[in-house]
Structure 1
Amino acid sequence: MTTHTPTTPEQLLEKLTALGIEATTINHPAVYTVEESKAHRGDLPGAHTKNLFLRNKKGKMWLLVCLEDRKIDIKLLGKALEAGKLSFGSAARLMEFLGIEPGSVSPFSAINDREGQVKVVLDTQMMTQSPINAHPLTNTMTTAITPTDLVRFLESIDHAPEELDMNNLAELATKAE
């Protein structure tokens, strides 16, 4: 693995601008949980995300981006993704592969996975809402972007996302068996 300096929030926002993507960013106190985010964001419209950095026993990794209030059954998710048993990636792994600290995980952090080792999975229901709000590599800011532009950004960094119908995890897990 090669080590590299993680992208800064400013560099990320410059990348969005260079792609012609309109994004609105606000500053706020650091937040580490969905509850803290709700307390600080005020009336910010759109979908707000919960982001899970996951791995399996074989070392494969996923970044799940879903609606903030989504309840996730990790066992069913592992089956639906055909990943086997999933667990949360450590803070060290998070820094190594996504270049961020816990609390700052978002779909934008895929920009630091320059070797394409983390698969991005987006909640199908989240993708029907606009804008989508996510941290731009720091938990002291929130950036709003359209679902179409989020996909365009991810494709531009060679992380074409997979969409997963989180409302039907049990059905998807059964089909995968």
Structure 2
Amino acid sequence: MDKREKVLNKLNELEIKYKLIDHPPVYTIDAMDELNLSEHGHIVKNLFLKNSNGKKHYLVVLKGDKKADLKSIKSQINSTSLSFASEERLEKYLGLLKGAVTPLGIINDEDHCVCIVLDKDLKNEEFIGIHPNVNTATVFISYNDLLKFINTFGNKIFYVNI
């Protein structure tokens, strides 16, 4: 079973309604914007970060049109300084490749060690667009269903102002 199928099967198992849209591979939020998918929901930006000693990892999910202030996030989650984690760490902890970063990647985090950091403004969006662990498709689900998915795996969630 491939990465995408694994996610879609889990969404179906959890009875989470979604809309799936296939598209060419994308690697940036700008490339996502060029696909004009915003009529289906708000496309999010995902950042995979680590703390200063590399022992804690965070997946920050924010509205696609925002810029993340890592110092502000650091203080809101009571962490040491934050920086971008390597592609090797991304693959090790979430089983994802660059360009396919998504909160749905926690399906591969067997130790539940990656903390999810959600932009508080996302709760105001009816639907959000995220990759199903590959960057050749986007699924649109409700914010509450994203929380349901995350809570199924038991990863810690932080809510922050970005």
Do Structure 1 and Structure 2 share a fold, with TM-score over 0.5?
yes
Tell me which residue corresponds to 1:117: 113
Count of matched residue pairs: 161
Q: Distance in 1 between matches of 2:14 and 2:153?
A: 11
SS of the equivalent of 1:41 reads: coil
Task: Give the gaps of 5 or more residues in structure 1.
Answer: 1-5, 167-177
Contact conserved, 1:30 with 1:139, CA < 8 A, in 2?
yes
Moved over 3 A (4+): 41-44
* More displaced 10-residue stretch of structure 1: 76-85 or 135-144: 76-85
Tell me which residue corresponds to 1:172: none
Is 1:25 the counterpart of 2:20 in the alignment?
A: yes
Q: CA deviation at 1:43?
A: 4.7
Tell me which residue corresponds to 1:148: 144
Tell me which residue corresponds to 2:30: 35
Tell me which residue corresponds to 1:87: 83
Q: CA deviation at 1:127?
A: 1.7
Task: Give the gaps of 5 or more residues in structure 2.
Answer: none
Equivalent residue letter for 2:28: T
Q: Distance in 1 between matches of 2:73 and 2:151?
A: 23
Tell me which residue corresponds to 2:64: 68
TM-score of the two chains, using structure 1 as the length reference = 0.86
Q: Distance in 1 between matches of 2:156 and 2:71?
A: 24
SS of the equivalent of 1:142 reads: strand
Q: CA deviation at 1:162?
A: 2.3
Equivalent residue letter for 1:93: R
SS of the equivalent of 1:14 reads: helix
Q: Distance in 1 between matches of 2:113 and 2:73?
A: 19
Contact conserved, 2:103 with 2:116, CA < 8 A, in 1?
yes
TM-score of the two chains, using structure 2 as the length reference = 0.94
Q: Distance in 2 between matches of 1:18 and 1:150?
A: 14
Contact conserved, 2:59 with 2:103, CA < 8 A, in 1?
yes
SS of the equivalent of 1:111 reads: helix
Tell me which residue corresponds to 1:171: none
Q: Distance in 2 between matches of 1:154 and 1:53?
A: 16
SS of the equivalent of 2:45 reads: strand
Alpha-carbon displacement from aligned partner over 1:55-96 (angstroms, at most 9, x marks no partner): 012321100000001111112221221112101000000000
Contact conserved, 1:53 with 1:88, CA < 8 A, in 2?
yes
| RMSD over equivalenced CA pairs, Å | 1.5
Identical counterparts, % of pairs: 34
Q: Distance in 2 between matches of 1:85 and 1:141?
A: 33
Q: Distance in 2 between matches of 1:123 and 1:158?
A: 19
